[in-house]
Homo-oligomer: A and B are copies of this chain.
Amino acid sequence: MANTTCAHDPQVPDNTTNPQSDVAIAQAHPLLDITDIAQRTGIPDSALIPYGRTKAKVDPTQLSSRGQAKLVLVTAMSPTPAGEGKSTTLIGLVDALHLRNHKVAAALREPSQGPVMGIKGGAAGGGYSQVVPMEDINLHFTGDFHAITSATNTLAAVIDNHIHQGNALNIDPRKVTWQRCLDVNDRALRGVVTGLGGPAHGVPAETGFTITAASEIMAVLCLATDLTDLKRRLGAMTIGYTYDDQPVTVSQLGVAGALTALMKEAINPNLVQTLGGAPAFIHGGPFANIAHGCNSLLATRTAMSCADIVVTEAGFGSDLGAEKFFDIKARVGKLHVDAVVVVATIRSLKYNGGVAREDLDKENHEALAKGIENLGAHIGNIRQFDVEPIVAINSFPSDTEAEAHYLQEWAQDQGIRLVNSHVWAHGGHGGQELAEAVEQVLAGREQRTRSPQQIYDPEQGVEHSITTLARRVYGASEVEFSSKARKQLNQLKKNGLDALPVCISKTQYSFSDDPKKLGAPRGHTLHVRELIPRTGAGFVVVLTGDVMTMPGLPKNPAALHIDIDSEGSISGLF
A113 at the interface (CB under 8 A from B): yes
A479 at the interface (CB under 8 A from B): no
Distance (whole angstroms) from the CB of A78 to the closest CB of chain B: 23
A557 with B261, Cβ < 8 A, contacts A227-B568, A231-B564 known = no
* A190 and B186 contact, CB distance less than 8 A: no
* A566 and B257 contact, CB distance less than 8 A: no
Size class of the A contact interface (CB-based, 8 Å) = 35 or more
Which secondary structure characterizes the binding site on chain A? mixed
Distance (whole angstroms) from the CB of A201 to the closest CB of chain B: 5
Distance between Cα atoms of A201 and B553 in the complex (Å): 11
A18 at the interface (CB under 8 A from B): no
Interface-side segment among A145-153, A423-431, A526-534? A145-153
Chain B positions within 8 Å of A552 at CB level: 161, 164, 202
A150 with B154, Cβ < 8 A, contacts A255-B560, A560-B255 known = no
A72 at the interface (CB under 8 A from B): no
Distance (whole angstroms) from the CB of A513 to the closest CB of chain B: 17
* A195 and B188 contact, CB distance less than 8 A: yes
Interface-side segment among A48-56, A275-283, A434-442, A517-525? A48-56
Distance (whole angstroms) from the CB of A250 to the closest CB of chain B: 11
* A564 and B257 contact, CB distance less than 8 A: yes
- Among the listed B161, B185, B196, which residue makes an inter-chain contact with A157, where contact means beta carbons less than 8 Å apart? B185
* B140 and A146 contact, CB distance less than 8 A: yes
Chain B positions within 8 Å of A192 at CB level: 192-196
Chain B positions within 8 Å of A304 at CB level: none
* A260 and B564 contact, CB distance less than 8 A: yes
Distance between Cα atoms of A164 and B188 in the complex (Å): 9
Distance between Cα atoms of A264 and B23 in the complex (Å): 15
* B188 and A194 contact, CB distance less than 8 A: yes
Binding site for B on A (CB under 8 A): 49-53, 57, 113, 117, 135-136, 139-140, 143, 146-147, 149-150, 153-154, 156-158, 160-161, 164-166, 180, 182-197, 200-203, 205-206, 226-228, 231, 254-255, 257-258, 260-262, 264-265, 552-553, 555, 557, 559-560, 562-564, 566-568, 570, 572
Instruction: Please give 11 more A-B residue pairs, beta carbons under 8 A apart, in addition to A140-B262, A188-B205, A258-B559.
Output: A113-B262, A117-B154, A139-B262, A156-B186, A160-B187, A161-B557, A188-B195, A190-B202, A193-B196, A227-B568, A258-B562
